[in-house]
A = this chain, B = another copy of it.
Amino acid sequence: MENITHNTENRILEAARDVFHRKGFNGARMQEIANLANINKSLLHYYFRNKELLFEKVFNDTFSQLASKMGGIFMSEMTLISKIETFVELYLIFISEHSYVMQFIINALQDRPERLRDIITNQNINPELLLEKIHKQLKNEMGIDMDPLQLYVNLLALVIFPVVAKPLLQSIFSLSDERMAVFYEERKKIVPVFIENALKGYEKDKKLG
């Protein structure tokens, strides 16, 4: 008897996602995944052959989910400023709730960069189109001729880094969990303003130059 697209398989995937996200490929144990899913270890191999393939499945699922969230906002029809504000708001919430996800992706790609090659084309996301759209909006809405990649990376950096580096920042500056929560909450306001100001300054420079 099968529940929604096979119950056992899903239980395994959920457990695997949890363990892989927290401990990475090398830190994860097949036995731990089996325990978490409340099944016999052999079932992992029955459904996914081996650790590498199970990891690959988790990685692909995770990345796709993340990518669609990332691309979606910027492919919509809003002003660039609104997109930035929405992006910061939504992303900061999402990443705080899934603080492991981003680092999981980065580490997996550090180990083997070719992991992405295959799935990016399969995805309905078009990074070049995204940059093109940002480029046009920068020009049309703000009169700025700037490399859109630089802007987009700045945006990602300001949102993602503070979450990924949380333990580092918290240790160095002796910040309590409460102080840290306030810090993130503040960023929802600060980051968009920071970027908008930077762009306005750039715009002024351009007009002067």
Interface check A208, CB cutoff 8 A = no
Copies of this chain, complex-wide, total 2
Interface check A176, CB cutoff 8 A = no
- Residues of B within 8 Å of A120, CB to CB, are 171-172
Interface check A5, CB cutoff 8 A = no
Tell me the interface secondary structure of chain A in the complex: helix
B interface footprint on A151-178 (CB within 8 Å = 1, 0 otherwise): 0011011101110110111111110000
Interface check A91, CB cutoff 8 A = no
- Residues of B within 8 Å of A168, CB to CB, are 105-106, 109, 116
Interface check A26, CB cutoff 8 A = yes
Question: Which single member of B27, B113, B156 contacts A171 (CB below 8 Å)?
Answer: B113
User: Assuming the A-B contacts A24-B26, A198-B198, are A153 and B169 also in contact, with contact meaning beta carbons closer than 8 angstroms in the complex?
Assistant: yes
B interface footprint on A104-116 (CB within 8 Å = 1, 0 otherwise): 0111011101011
Interface check A32, CB cutoff 8 A = no
Interface check A190, CB cutoff 8 A = yes
Q: How far is the CA of A2 from the CA of B134 in the complex (A)?
A: 60
Contact across chains for A200 and B197 when beta carbons are under 8 A apart: yes
Interface check A15, CB cutoff 8 A = no
- Residues of B within 8 Å of A75, CB to CB, are none
Interface check A117, CB cutoff 8 A = yes
Interface check A141, CB cutoff 8 A = no
Q: Can you list 24 A-B pairs, Cβ within 8 angstroms, ordered by A? A: A24-B24, A24-B26, A26-B26, A100-B110, A103-B106, A116-B172, A117-B171, A128-B174, A150-B187, A154-B194, A156-B165, A157-B157, A157-B158, A157-B162, A158-B158, A160-B161, A160-B165, A194-B202, A195-B198, A197-B197, A197-B202, A198-B201, A200-B201, A201-B201
